[in-house]
Amino acid sequence: LLALITLVAAPPYSAETAARIIGGALADGSAYARLAELTDGIGPRLSGSPGAQAAIAWALSKFKEDGVAARTEPVKVPHWLRGEERAAIVSTPGVAAHALAVTALGGSPGTPPSGIEAEVVEVRSVAEVAQLGDRVRGKIVFFDHDMSTPKGYGEFGPLRMKGPAEAARAGAAAALVRSLATASLRSPHTGATIFPEGAPQIPAAALATEDAELIHRLLARGVPVRVSLTLGCRTLPDVDSANVVAEIRGRERPQEVVVIGAHLDSWDLATGAIDDGAGVSVVLETARLLAREKPRRTVRAVLFINEENGLRGGKAYAAAHGSEMHVAGLESDSGAGRPLSIALRAGSGAQELVAPWLPPLLQLGVDRFATDEPGGADLSPLARLGVATAAVKQDVSHYFDLHHSAADTLDKVVPADLARMAAAFAWVTYALAEMPGTLSRPPPLPATEAPFAEPEHHPAAK
């Protein structure tokens, strides 16, 4: 389709500009170098941690290095600490003792210091907890599933987000959730779980896939399984933190804003190279490349805090800036894979408006519009106000092998793929900021309160 359009119309952009932006991203190695500084130099960045604060100062200095005006905007964030975590299958007749690879879910309370011990009951949906009624009282509820593809994150995400709260309501002693992952070398994958304000809370942990399989096998044979669990996690009072907001003022229509974003915070188990260090480096790279071009509209780069366990940064940005004229939003929070396609959520005529700007992306392997929606948790509060969104969809086939686990480290990032992603993201941002017209506004999203870090925000398969 894109190739066809190049044949019938003269391009609306300058080929030299396209070569400068895309060539700069591909040749300079800046995105990967900065991702290395962030991951190896600063490390894990959970909200409220010293790493998160250091990342904010680092991001400000990078924007300034590139001549992009940047500031912080205050955000209060939750402060959850992990502590020790230990679990084991207790030896009973016919069952050996097994240490279990577990990691607490963000937001979980701890167990008493001596831990808890209880029998395990397996369920495969949140609804099944209520159906079991009294049979889960005092038990450890084990949420099992068969996620095997990236799409499964949307399907099974509610087990982690809502399952533990439902088990707590039913009087369970604790919850174990099979890791939401597409691969495992016995590494559990954490992530947020939500206990509604004032509702009962129980300790909740993710279980490595192999250990989930073991418990499932034993239970399927009719063997009762008892598990001991010790979690030292706890929540401290909220902490003052910040979004980092940088701006390249538009040369003709400065009041019209194209907002681009990624999140600075990460889980604490690793250095957050793919989630979302990669996105941070893509946004920094876009600002670096576009600062020299001075597009028609304002490009505002936001590095959000607290996407992972509260979405406070995304909500704070929408509260502070929601009334401004955002003509488009673009988020990078799907890892470091190579770019594949362009997604749009806008009113009618959007693809026709954008398509003539896309031929420079063919060299990067981006050759079509995606059939699914852009997604993106941090911009979801803004999207709910009716702002059009776009995305560069990436290869996410290995994203959930690593996501939220101790394996989310820099060695998984292929520098050339990250550079291609940065090039595509920078070019689409430039197009949205430079094109004569603007995307028409999409029909509003449902006005329901957005849960934070909604599982759907992460990429379904291309």
Name the residue nearer to Zn ion (CB basis): 129 or 273.
273
Interface with Zn ion in residues 67-86 (CB under 5 A): none
Interface with Zn ion in residues 248-267 (CB under 5 A): none
Distance of alpha carbon 78 from alpha carbon 76, whole angstroms: 7
Bond prior to 40 in cis (omega within 30° of 0): no
Q: Which letter does DSSP use for residue 431 in this model?
A: H
Query: Does position 333 bind Zn ion by CB under 5 A?
Result: yes
Name the residue nearer to Zn ion (CB basis): 275 or 395.
275
Name the residue nearer to Zn ion (CB basis): 277 or 359.
277
The residue within the footprint of Zn ion, chosen from 265, 276, 408, 434 (CB under 5 A), is: 276
Cβ 130 to Zn ion shortest distance, Å = 31
Cβ 357 to Zn ion shortest distance, Å = 27
Contact 393, 364 (CB under 8 A): no
Is 307 among the residues known to form the active site? Answer: yes
Cβ 181 to Zn ion shortest distance, Å = 15
Write out 98-166 in H/E/C secondary structure: EEECEEECECCCCCCCCCEEEEEEEECCHHHHHHHHHHHCCCEEEECCCCCCCCHHHHHHHHHHHHHHH
Name the residue nearer to Zn ion (CB basis): 275 or 285.
275
Query: Does position 408 bind Zn ion by CB under 5 A?
Result: no
Cβ 398 to Zn ion shortest distance, Å = 15
| Structural tokens at position 56 | 């904010």
Query: Does position 331 bind Zn ion by CB under 5 A?
Result: no
Stretch that binds Zn ion, among 10-18, 115-123, 275-283, 412-420 (CB under 5 A): 275-283
Alpha helices in 337-389 (DSSP H): 350-354, 380-383
Stretch that binds Zn ion, among 27-35, 105-113, 190-198, 270-278 (CB under 5 A): 270-278
Cβ 74 to Zn ion shortest distance, Å = 22
Stretch that binds Zn ion, among 71-79, 268-276, 309-317, 444-452 (CB under 5 A): 268-276
Q: Which of 441, 419, 280, 241 is nearest to 337 (CA)?
A: 419
Q: What is the DSSP string of 240-280?
A: EEEEEEEEE--SSEEEEEEEEEEE----SSS--IIIIIHHH
Distance of alpha carbon 405 from alpha carbon 314, whole angstroms: 23
Stretch that binds Zn ion, among 110-118, 167-175, 276-284, 435-443 (CB under 5 A): 276-284
CA atoms within 13 A on the CB side of 207: 32
Q: Which letter does DSSP use for residue 42 in this model?
A: I
Q: Which of 312, 308, 232, 242 is nearest to 272 (CA)?
A: 308
Query: Does position 275 bind Zn ion by CB under 5 A?
Result: yes
Catalytic residue among 166, 285, 307, 434: 307
Contact 355, 2 (CB under 8 A): yes
Q: Which residue has the tokens 């603007």?
A: 438
Stretch that binds Zn ion, among 1-9, 73-81, 132-140, 274-282 (CB under 5 A): 274-282
| Structural tokens at position 214 | 């073991």
Name the residue nearer to Zn ion (CB basis): 39 or 111.
39
Name the residue nearer to Zn ion (CB basis): 144 or 275.
275
Name the residue nearer to Zn ion (CB basis): 194 or 327.
194
Query: Does position 247 bind Zn ion by CB under 5 A?
Result: no
The residue ranges that bind Zn ion (CB under 5 A) are: 275-276, 333
Q: Which residues are catalytic?
A: 307
